[in-house]
Chains A and B, each alone.
Chain A
Amino acid sequence: MTSKTQHNTELLRFTTAGSVDDGKSTLIGRLLYDSKSIFEDQLEAVKTATARRGEEGVNLALLTDGLKAEREQGITIDVAYRYFATPRRKFIIADTPGHTQYTRNMVTGASTANVALVLIDARNGVIEQTRRHAIIASLLQIPHLVICINKMDLVDYNQEVYESIRDDFEQFAAKLDVHDVTFIPISALKGDNVVERSQNMTWYEGPTLLYYLENVHIGSDHNFIDCRFPVQFVIRPNTDEFHDYRGYAGRVAGGVFRKGDKVLLLPSGFTSTIAKIDTSDGEVEEIFPPMSATILLEDDLDLSRGDMIVRENNRPEVTQDLDLMVCWFNERPMQLRGKYTIMHTTRQVRCLVKDIQYKMDVNTLHRDLDDKVIGMNDIARITIRTTQPLFVDSYRKNRITGSVILIDEGTNETVGAGMVVG
């Protein structure tokens, strides 16, 4: 797309996690406020609301409190999405609550994030909730983790406090599957190191939070190696002009597909060649994640929603038996031998829970082999068998082809989210 009005900016999605009182809403309010993403009428509304609560000034936390119930209780009860932009990047924040009972929201927000932002209250250091957030970020394979040590103003901007918390966290993080961790000492309330560099912590030489978010390298967050194209919808115009058009529409889940590539179709196992690739900008030579496109093949083969286009020499695992890490979202516990509908890419089949291997303590990583009751917000490793084969990669290799949701067939609710272990 070329136009003088186009701003060549990237999209970065990040998730925030924090406990009720560690200042998460204030931090988001500060980011929006200092990056001038708050409008006058929003600010006026917040000023009025602050005064109504008998408080002084502007309570930045009120900027992000959405629904009536949570404004009354002063807590966030669901994932809320916020937007702001700088000339460099556009940001989508998945703002999730920090309560114990809302692990499900944290997992939801984490599923699409490039960066996880974890808040620690400098007065309390690393606590159970910090560990839980980091464990979830690691489980969900968020590529980058930034630890904001907040409320530095309340510990006199003391370098030793910061360093001891950092050391504590690093020691704990060694057990996790996280590769890129950054620490930033901040005061969301006063604005230190959020957008503006702090004058109170000259001993800190790293980036401010906004600078970090604007510059962290996200170009490698997708899988560009293993070609995966789940067929979403078959486009057949049936018009005189496009009489023979048969296009396979979908979104690239992995790898780079080019016109002329030899491809393999799953589950049929037939091979063909890419004749043409259509996109919203017309015909193109190559497509990559996360583009939506329409692939036309040279041969007239039977291919429909739920099938997958891959390369001959690089196939996903085709299997009916899966090992999953699941997070449970429902009041009704997971039923061993229970049957659920499973959604994987664009494929929907049924499955049976064959085995619950262990429940994981999300605060300590401890594996409990005896407790097999998997209730709301629990995380467990399970084995399932599906009625039809799925075409999967390990979640670690590809977040799209390695993830599933489980649906209760009675209520149609999404009751669990699973990541393929492998």
Chain B
Amino acid sequence: MNYQLDHLKELEAESIFVLREVAAQFENPVLLFSGGKDSILVSYLAKKAFYPARIPFPLLHIDTGHNFDETIEYRDWWVKELGAKLIVGSVQEAIDKGTLVEEKGYNASRNYLQTPVLLEAIEQNKFDAAIGGARRDEEKARAKERFFSHRDEFGQWNPKNQRPELWNLFNGRKNFGEHFRVFPISNWTELDVWQYLAAEKVPLPSLYFAHRRKVFQRDGILLADSPFIKRRPEEVVEEKLVRCRTIGDVTCTGVWESEAKTIEDIIAEVAISRQTERGGRADDKRSETAMEDRKKDGYF
């Protein structure tokens, strides 16, 4: 008789508890889906949490228009697989309407433009809880994030005004116009995510596995060659065997030289890796507190 869960099962139980708590405490939640492994994991856990009923909230994808093609292909397939409803918030549309202005230049990224589009989608659809796949081990500003993270009526996060979370008790009460961000996989590490996805045999986007791609180097990071990135004259394109460790916009997602063809290969690679997965994210490198500053503005 051994009543001890292994760490993945304990993390799974915790995340499922949090997801059910969202469905119980909020009237109109939404799951933020980026097409990356973390949001795939959260949506997979949501399916388990409510089985055999359907996931009782829609998925929301903030589409920058600068995606890898594979991301959109996978997204549409996965949503069907889950039997879930998908809502798309479009950065391109906001630019076309003139509500947003695009950055120009070599390091131009639409990453910052996701925030206003997300906040608008939340306001328009009257979502009162947005479930995200952020993990505390990702980045130092996230180490203090709550499971239930309170946002004021401007969608902003105030690190000094977060509610203490004790035991299994999550306080989701709020005033009109405010909302919550909820992070069910807060306690998972990158390795936990991969180990779990492998054990559960969850199908993943092909971008995560080694493939040949045209890339070039900038500031020590390999970027995919794409019509969305303006190359400097000295930046030379070459074809390499690479894979993504995180999936974001083409413009700011670094790719890594890798021969990992299966999840097992990836786990072996992550286990001996000497760089964090966000090490390849150009958006984090803008300043030492880049993530903290974006979060205060309402970023994921």
Contacts and interface: CB of A to CB of B under 8 A. Distances in A.
B289 A68 contact: yes
A407 B171 contact: yes
Interface stretch (A76-84, A128-136, A157-165, A208-216): A76-84
Given A67-B292, A278-B51, A417-B164, A233 B23 contact: yes
Given A1-B9, A1-B199, A41-B275, A417 B166 contact: yes
Contacts of B199: 1-3, 5-6
Interface string A1-25: 1111111111100000000000000
Contacts of B264: 4-5
A10 B276 CA distance: 23
Interface string B159-197: 110111111110101110000000000110101100100
Interface string A384-407: 000000000000000110011101
Q: Which 10 A-B pairs have the closest CB atoms?
A: A111-B166, A412-B173, A237-B53, A11-B7, A292-B16, A3-B199, A41-B279, A90-B7, A280-B48, A292-B13
Contacts of B137: 82-83
A405 B168 CA distance: 10
Contacts of B45: 280
A66 interface: yes
Interface in A164-181: none
Given A403-B169, A412-B171, 15 more contacts: A11-B5, A40-B274, A45-B288, A67-B140, A67-B141, A68-B289, A79-B164, A81-B186, A235-B53, A241-B52, A250-B20, A290-B5, A290-B13, A291-B5, A412-B174
A85 interface: yes
B168 A251 contact: yes
A280 B171 contact: no
B14 A290 contact: yes
Nearest to B20: A233
A108 B164 contact: yes
Interface of B: 2-14, 16-17, 20-21, 23-24, 45, 48-54, 136-137, 140-141, 143-144, 159-160, 162-169, 171, 173-175, 186-187, 189, 191-192, 195, 198-200, 263-264, 267, 273-276, 279, 288-289, 292
A83 B52 contact: no
Contacts of A203: none
A39 B279 contact: yes
12 contacts: A1-B200, A2-B199, A77-B160, A80-B144, A81-B187, A90-B189, A219-B4, A236-B53, A249-B50, A290-B10, A412-B175, A414-B163
Nearest to B264: A5
A41 to B, nearest CB: 4
B8 A1 contact: yes
A305 B49 CA distance: 15
Nearest to B280: A41
Interface of A: 1-11, 39-42, 45, 49, 64-69, 77-83, 85, 89-90, 92, 104-105, 107-108, 111-112, 219, 222, 224, 232-233, 235-239, 241-242, 245, 249-251, 256, 278, 280, 288-292, 305, 329, 341, 343-346, 399-400, 403-405, 407, 412-414, 417
A409 B295 CA distance: 27
A105 B198 contact: no
Contacts of A249: 20, 49-50
Greatest chain A CB density within 10 A among B13, B140, B159, B169 is at B169
Contacts of B143: 64, 66, 80-82
A257 to B, nearest CB: 12
A288 B3 contact: yes
Given A10-B7, A232-B20, A104 B164 contact: yes
Contact of A251 (B13, B51, B53): B13
Given A5-B195, A10-B7, A414-B171, A66 B144 contact: yes
Contact of A400 (B23, B165, B167, B279): B167
B20 A329 contact: no
Contacts of A399: 167
A403 B166 CA distance: 9
B245 to A, nearest CB: 12
A3 B198 CA distance: 8
Given A67-B144, A81-B187, A242-B52, A400 B168 contact: yes
Nearest to A418: B166
Nearest to A406: B171
Nearest to A402: B167
A404 B169 contact: yes
A141 to B, nearest CB: 11
B6 A6 contact: yes
Greatest chain B CB density within 10 A among A2, A42, A238, A292 is at A292
A211 B294 CA distance: 39
B6 A9 contact: yes
